[in-house]
Amino acid sequence: MTQTGVMPTKQKQQRPKAVKEEHIKVEPRLFNREASWLEFDRRVLEEALDDDLPVLERLKFLSIFSSNLDEFFMIRISGIKEQIEEGVGELSPDGLTPTEQLRELRSRLLPMIRKQVSYLGKTVFPELAKAGITIEPYKLLSPKEKKKLDKYFRDNVFPILTPQSVDSSHPFPYISNLSLNIGLFIEPNRAATQKNLRHLFRQKRFARIKLPPSVSRLIPITEGKTRFALLEEVIAANAHHLFPNMKVTEGHLFRVTRDADIEIREDEAGDLMRTLETELQRRRFRFPVRLEVSASMPDKMLRLLTAGIGLNENDVYKIDGFVDIPDLMQLYSLDMPHLKERPISAVHPSVLIEKKNIFEVLKKQDVLLHHPYTAFSAVTDFLAQAAEDPRVQAIKICLYRTGKDSPVVRSLMRASQLGKQVTALVELKARFDEENNIEWARRLENEGVHVVYGISTLKTHSKVMLVIRREGDKLVRYVHLATGNYNPTTARLYTDLGLLTSDPEIGNDATSLFNFLTGYSQQTEYSRLLVAPVNLRERLSELVKNESEIASQGGEGKIVLKLNSLTDVGMIEALYEASNAGVEIDLIIRGICALRPGIPGMSENIRVRSIVGRFLEHSRVLYFANGEGAGKEVIYIGSADWMQRNLDRRVEVVFPVIDPEIRDYLKNEILAGYLKDNVNTSILGPDGTYVPVKLNGSKRFDSQMSFVGVDILA
């Protein structure tokens, strides 16, 4: 889920020399990355179609599905279209040319979109209506209700609108990315048009009205705010105010999706922030990749739109129902708890409650945080206490996605105001959060925080906070490392893991890491941390190879990986080799998985499952049995997925779990729980399809709900 977030992203691809799209297909060793992305979206859609979920939760998943597809078109489809435009003939992992990929992806998308829209109209809307929540056609409202909405239009909408018509003196208007628009035809009402204007309006012409994003699309009809009219219908009913003395045809909705990838040649960017701001402006005008239209749109209008926008019929998606479903999330904010999942109670670690001084706790033990089951306030309280503590000398942190109103940023400002040395590495290039991060960077700088943007050629994706505190005659380092961002909002929606520790070696490594990020040091040696692109790939390869050697020598090799995505060819081939050596491998991959499991002689010992449930699975856990019995296993958690971009083109941090109690919890509760799940789990087959796990008489076990109320160190 959005991926806004919650979701996989695209990297610019290397462009080989153009070749003809002629090839001989062979049995692929890898799944198509784009197709695997869509299979994840299919599982999100299946979650939305679960009649056992409360109706507003199903609406939420329908919205997430649409948002995921928006990102898929803006990032992945746009990349394939660029390949075609530039004559790239490189085959995908499953042997398809770029043109064939587009055809295949469209064939997968169309039935999913039809199923989504149909379920919304035939199931969700009727169930909402039974609960008293209705979206009612303007034309069926009473005269009094129409009058009220017409007044709303005149007072709140009409002054904002700018209708645009197309003729020889008015070129086809620019249609902004993801905006919702009404298309209609207008022609002169000859009986009403003044004689001196008739020569200007001699024929029917196309006009476009953009729905203003500042106005809610759902307009309350009554005071109770559970009966709504649609903004587009209110505008259409009042179109005569926009086109006086003109005949106006019925309006039809359309929406354009554009390429949203930003490519910055940072070696030529003297000021990264200014360059990024310029690129964000340019992103608004990137090339179109998709046109969504109401299914009722006449062919003449559709031909005019596709020609004016610069697309063809294969880029058109006709929606036989509600267009732009995420707009309906306004309904989710209604105070109707019986139509939603019961909120979970997040636990604050008891060990931190008993001793209010967090630093005293961390001197004695590490503390594992498991969000959203562990309250994110454990992190913000740690930072807030560090900001106020007179013994704290310095705070350093990596910020990737922080959210709109961040207590993390406020604490950093407070620490700076109190005279502490505060350094924030703000990743300006975090996709779709660029503008938010630019704003935070400026505010932090204004408060005296040292703001840096990391290494120009790498995106900093690591989640690390370092607090340096003077205790007696020495400085002690306290570290927070995590799989998720410093974002309280997503911490309630994503499953993530974090670790609070005062381990001296980790503290020393964290210091070296920040020197690497802020001072451009050539640090290559880390005692405990695995850091991409320095030593992470090499160490992961060694860990996989070690299990292979153990199995080859008759031992019990075992690997369990929980990741968001697995696409790196080198690591997949290493897992294939381990499987052939006899290593038992269980992969819990939420989203994209290019590895083909269950193929004799290649991956017969590899099993892949995906968990899609109430929360977005975001934590990464790596388990290697290490052949030495209980207590000797190697367990890491961290920020990196096994993708080439994460291992080679990003700064990522993966860290070891040393505390025996925490290691047992990760192995026997978290990983074992996910492998036991039979509610949210689908199994990936050798053909690339996912099949939901069947109970077959077994007791239901929901891994996500099994963690609710658990105090890890109680």
Catalytic residues: 461
* Distance (Å) of CA 153 to CA 236, 238, 250, 583: 10, 8, 18, 66
Cα-to-chain-centroid distance, residue 465: 23
Which residues, at least 6 apart from 102, have a Cβ–Cβ distance to it below 8 Å? 77, 80, 81, 84, 314
Which residues, at least 6 apart from 33, have a Cβ–Cβ distance to it below 8 Å? 76, 92, 93, 567, 592, 594
Which residues, at least 6 apart from 55, have a Cβ–Cβ distance to it below 8 Å? 124, 127, 128, 131, 339
Report DSSP state, residue 32.
-
Residue from 401, 416, 411, 402 nearest 449 by CA:
416
In the 3-class helix/strand/coil scheme, how is 418-440 assigned residue by residue?
CCCEEEEEECCCCCCCHHHHHHH
Strands 459-460 and 650-656, sheet pairing: parallel
Token pair for 557: 């090799």
Cα-to-chain-centroid distance, residue 77: 16
Cis peptide before 126 (omega within 30 of 0): no
Single-letter amino acid code for the residue at 83: Q
* Distance (Å) of CA 366 to CA 358, 638, 672, 709, 712: 11, 16, 22, 20, 11
DSSP strands (E only) in 224-334: 227-230, 246-248, 252-258, 288-294, 316-319
Helices vs strands, H then E, count in the chain: 22, 28
Compute how many other C-beta atoms are within 10 angstroms of the C-beta atom of residue 289: 25
Token pair for 686: 């050798």
Token pair for 565: 């995505």
Using DSSP's 3-state secondary structure scheme, residue 190 falls into coil
Helix (H) or strand (E) holding 617: strand 616-617
Q: Rounded to an integer, what distance in angstroms lies between the CA atom of residue 632 and that of residue 60?
A: 43
Q: With beta carbons less than 8 A apart as the criterion, state whether 304 and 193 touch.
A: no
Q: Rounded to an integer, what distance in angstroms lies between the CA atom of residue 484 and that of residue 19?
A: 41
* Sign for the pseudo-dihedral over CA of 688, 692, 696, 699: positive
322-344 core/surface letters (b: 16 or more CB in 10 A; e: else): bbbbbbbbebeebebeebbeeeb
Place of tokens 């520790």: 501
Q: Rounded to an integer, what distance in angstroms lies between the CA atom of residue 439 and that of residue 512?
A: 28
Token pair for 15: 């462009």
